[in-house]
């Protein structure tokens, strides 16, 4: 992964205020409000900040949590960090290329997926490209 480094001012210039709040300030969109929560078109979800491909639609599943859920990311695309904010212990996930906040990953919830993980991702952190726009099918 190539590292995408920008100043706060550069990020503010290329991101919407909501994208900046979530990707750069580790915010969260309200449950059930994101455009990709119930989205089920074949394709690839990339980082809304830097365009790095993060998830394939084949790993997306309906968890009912109110945010897009994936059971696995593309190899090397997502970094994991311990997050002890809000009095909880969670695993934050970020774009490996630009460090943009994506959401959190949860394990052992019992979903019938190959990894028993749920990557709970903010729609605002993602940009979708359908299969007709992608070269890696």
Locate the domains of the chain by residue range.
Answer: 8-133
Q: Which residues pair with 61 in a beta bridge?
A: 69
**Which residues touch 54 (CB under 8 Å, ≥6 apart)?**
44, 45, 46, 47, 73, 74, 77, 78, 95, 102, 126
Q: What is the CATH number of domain 8-133?
A: 2.170.150.20
Phi and psi torsions of 109, nearest 5°: -85, -10
**Res. 95 pLDDT band, cuts 50 70 90:** very high
Q: Is the pLDDT of residue 50 over 90?
A: yes
**Average pLDDT estimate for 77-101:** 93
Instruction: Answer yes or no: 120 catalytic.
Output: yes
At residue 137, the pLDDT reads 42
User: Where is average pLDDT lowest: 2-16, 62-76, 89-103, 116-130?
Assistant: 2-16
At residue 133, the pLDDT reads 59
């Amino acid at each position: 992964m190539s590292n995408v480094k920008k100043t706060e001012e550069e990020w503010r210039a290329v991101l919407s205020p909501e994208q900046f709040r979530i990707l750069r300030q580790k915010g969260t969109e309200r449950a059930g409000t994101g455009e990709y929560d119930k989205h089920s078109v074949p394709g690839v979800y990339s980082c809304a900040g830097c365009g790095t491909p993060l998830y394939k639609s084949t790993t997306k599943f309906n968890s009912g949590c109110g945010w897009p859920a994936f059971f696995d990311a593309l190899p090397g695309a997502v970094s994991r960090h311990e997050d002890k904010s809000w009095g909880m212990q969670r695993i934050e996930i970020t774009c490996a290329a630009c460090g943009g906040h994506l959401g959190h990953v949860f394990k052992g919830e019992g979903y019938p997926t190959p990894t028993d993980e749920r990557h709970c991702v903010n729609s605002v952190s993602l940009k979708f490209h359908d299969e007709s726009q992608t070269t890696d099918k």
